[in-house]
Amino acid sequence: MASTADFRNGMIIRFKNDLYEIVEFQHVKPGKGGAFVRTKLKNAKTGSVIDNTFRAGEKVEEVRLEKHKMEYLYNDGTNYVIMDPVTYNQIEISEELLGERKLYLTENINIAILTIGEEIISIELPTTVNLKVTECEPAVKGNTVTGATKNAILETGLKVVVPMFVSQGEIVKIDTRTGEYLERT
């Protein structure tokens, strides 16, 4: 058990029968009343973020997750197959566990899986991925005002907003945390 004094960013706790990562926290000592800790908690499975306030000194259960480096191989239609690059063991991960993160997976990309014992809790993507543009509107001459953008669909089905100079068939770098275009590679 850990108390609110032990909170740190990235710490995983069991809260309301689910696992949450502490994204940020702030100790508050008002003039009247007892101290408290204001937190932003990210659900380890779904990725949704909630705000919660704990009383100072309140006990919470800290959970230790193990991180394993893996390589994404392919999608067999219902599951996503990953492989341990050391032992070559293959594991299947369900589409529900991945959620929207599946839109960043391309063959042979290195990822990390987070586990408690044998149970896979979540995956961790690299900060950026390179994806090929499969569909986008053509650039129109005269539409080159600074900051002009257009919609594009990438090889995994991810929809992003890109600058006008990006064309179909090019490779673009995408931030996996925000889903935004970073640069053309």
Query: Which residue range(s) make up the domain with 56?
Result: 2-62
Q: Is the pLDDT of residue 146 over 80?
A: no
Q: Is the pLDDT of residue 54 over 90?
A: yes
- Helix (H), strand (E), coil (C) string for the chain: CEEHHHCCCCCEEEECCEEEEEEEEEEECCCCCCCEEEEEEEECCCCCEEEEEEECCCEEEECCCEEEEEEEEEECCCEEEEECCCCCCEEEEEHHHHHHHHHHCCCCCEEEEEEECCEEEEEECCCEEEEEEEEECCCCCCCCCCCCEEEEEECCCCEEEEECCCCCCCEEEEECCCCCEEEEC
Same domain, yes or no, for 99 and 54?
Answer: no
**Count of domains for the chain:** 3
Q: Is the pLDDT of residue 141 over 80?
A: no
State residue 119's pLDDT score: 84
State residue 121's pLDDT score: 83
Same domain, yes or no, for 158 and 114?
Answer: no
Same domain, yes or no, for 143 and 166?
Answer: yes
Same domain, yes or no, for 71 and 28?
Answer: no
- pTM (two decimals): 0.73
Work out the percent of the chain whose per-residue pLDDT is above 70.
96
State residue 27's pLDDT score: 92
The CATH number assigned to the domain holding 105 equals 2.40.50.140
Same domain, yes or no, for 16 and 55?
Answer: yes
Average pLDDT over residues 127-140: 88
Q: How confident is the model at residue 158 (pLDDT cuts 50, 70, 90)?
A: very high
Q: Is the pLDDT of residue 6 over 70?
A: yes
Work out the percent of the chain whose per-residue pLDDT is above 90.
52
pLDDT per position as a tens digit, 76-115:
888 999 999 999 999 999 888 888 889 999 999 999 998 8
